C-alpha cells in the first residue's frame, strides 16, 4: 500500500497527501533555488524529518522502558546547510534539542542521546551528510 501521493501544482509547488490520514502538506522550492519559499522545501522536510524522528524515537523508547522522563514540550530547532559545491545537496543538519524536564538522570540522558543518533531517519541518511545534534538538558 502506498504511503503518500504527491501532485505537482506548477510553479515549483507540490501537495503531498498522507494516504492513511488524508493530511496534506505543501512544498515550495526555496528562494535560493528559483522558488517562492512559501512552504517547506523538500530538503527542509528531510531535515525536519530527522528532528521529528529523533524525538518520536526517544518517546517510544522512554514509554517502552517506563522511563521517568517528561518529553512533552521538548523543542527541536533545525538548521539545514546546503553544500556550496555542486551537486546541490544537504551537507549538514544541525538540531538543538531543548528539554523542559530538568530532572532527567545522567543515565537516562546517556540512553536518550544514543537513541537520538540511531533513529530510523538518522541511520537512513547518507553517511556524508553531517548530523550535528546538541542536547540542552
- pLDDT confidence bin for 39, thresholds 50/70/90: very high
Q: What is the pLDDT of residues 116-128, one digit of tens each?
A: 999 999 999 999 9
Q: Is 19 in the same domain as 70?
A: no
Residue 48 binned pLDDT confidence (cut-offs 50, 70, 90): very high
| Structure confidence at residue 131 as a pLDDT band (50, 70, 90) | very high
**C-beta separation of 26 from 15 below 8 A:** yes
Per the structure, how many domains does the chain have? 2
Return mean pLDDT, the chain. Answer: 97
Mean pLDDT, residues 33-58:
97
18 and 73 fall within a common domain: no
- Kindly state whether residues 34 and 48 are assigned to the same domain: no
Beta strands 4-10 and 130-136 are: unpaired
Q: Are 55 and 33 part of one and the same domain?
A: no
CATH number at residue 90: 3.30.300.20
Place of cell 544537504: 90
In a shared domain, residues 13 and 47: no
Residues 6+ apart with CB under 8 A from 81: 90, 91, 92, 93, 94
Q: Is the domain of 78 the same as that of 20? A: no
- 50 and 115 share one domain: yes
> What residues make up the domain containing 13?
1-40
Please check whether residues 52 and 30 belong to one and the same domain.
no
Amino acid at each position: 500500500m502506498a504511503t503518500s501521493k504527491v501532485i505537482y501544482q506548477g510553479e515549483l509547488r507540490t501537495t503531498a497527501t498522507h494516504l492513511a490520514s488524508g493530511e496534506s502538506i505543501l512544498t515550495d522550492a526555496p528562494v535560493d533555488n528559483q522558488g517562492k519559499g512559501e512552504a517547506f522545501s523538500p530538503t527542509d522536510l528531510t531535515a525536519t524529518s530527522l528532528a521529528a524522528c529523533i524525538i518520536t524515537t526517544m518517546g517510544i523508547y522512554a514509554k517502552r522502558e517506563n522511563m521517568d522522563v517528561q518529553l512533552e514540550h521538548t523543542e527541536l530547532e533545525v538548521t539545514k546547510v546546503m553544500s556550496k559545491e555542486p551537486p546541490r545537496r544537504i551537507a549538514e543538519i544541525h538540531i538543538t534539542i531543548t528539554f523542559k524536564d530538568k530532572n532527567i538522570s545522567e543515565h537516562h540522558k546517556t540512553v536518550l542521546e544514543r537513541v537520538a543518533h540511531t533513529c530510523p531517519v538518522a541511520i537512513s541518511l547518507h553517511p556524508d551528510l553531517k548530523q550535528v545534534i546538541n542536547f540542552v538538558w
